[in-house]
Structure 1
């Protein structure tokens, strides 16, 4: 049997594409881990409702566990839950959707090491190849919308836009913006795609 992992899951394009790549490589994703702020009960970074992320997990047919945390205990809470997933599901790895930022990878590897598992990065790539990842996401048939933008990087009016060929063309004109939003330039919610197995999203 191949590697069994938990996937750090936000509900956005990176983590959904990571799930697709992991499954394509024969790596079994036993569960999803999603961080949520204790006070607001919304997901970290994306400010998404827990119910919408829960709905995605149900359509994947993969168990999801929420890590309720705050700014001060984030790392410790993450380690605790990875250890719990190791005990419950027998995972030997924790996968992340990071692409090229070394600081993000160093943090993930440190957290994985503390939990006694391997850090897995299915999307890891050279920065120059990031546009190809976005094109792959679109061509695979994923359907996603922008739910949040950094107004200093992209227009607020982009919120609600679908990630399609037109989006790819437009974002590539912003030379100081990562096409995949690796530095938080924008965040997304994925409605549909090849990893969704239980029903299909309808407008």
Structure 2
């Protein structure tokens, strides 16, 4: 089932929470498509979906001046979203983020700018899920290095097949309380941590 929100959603100037997760239709095919003007709802605090496609702010508003969503604290679950500088400027106070990526065999992983996560300075919870399209073999390991913000407390990874050596950044997260490594999150037999990692 697809949910397409009208552009008139921007007229809900006092909207703070939008949740689209109807239990009776719970399915991976339950997808929401948000209009560009969602970036105009400046009082938003929480955006929660089963799956959603969120337009990029620069692409969506064609370079017009837009006000950052300074109140936005929770965003999930958005699909194949690019974490460019424009996005980071739009979400300065994001605390919880749930994201998914579906590999199509054509898009370069680097275009999603995963290393920019480090600039989400208020982020405390991050969940990343990676999937291959059904007509592809399971994707190759991601040829990128993640960078995480220091305030991160909970981290979940699934399907990214990151090399253990590229996970050394986790050892420097002094506030990390929970680390969940799910289906094919890492690749390799042993995690050899560096000196100085996981200091009390």
Query: What TM bracket, shorter-length normalisation?
Result: under 0.3
TM-score, normalising length from structure 2? 0.24
Greater share of residues in helix: 1
Larger relative contact order (Cα-Cα within 8 Å, sequence gap ≥ 6): 1
Greater share of residues in strand: 2
Q: Compare CA radii of gyration and give the structure with the larger one.
A: 2
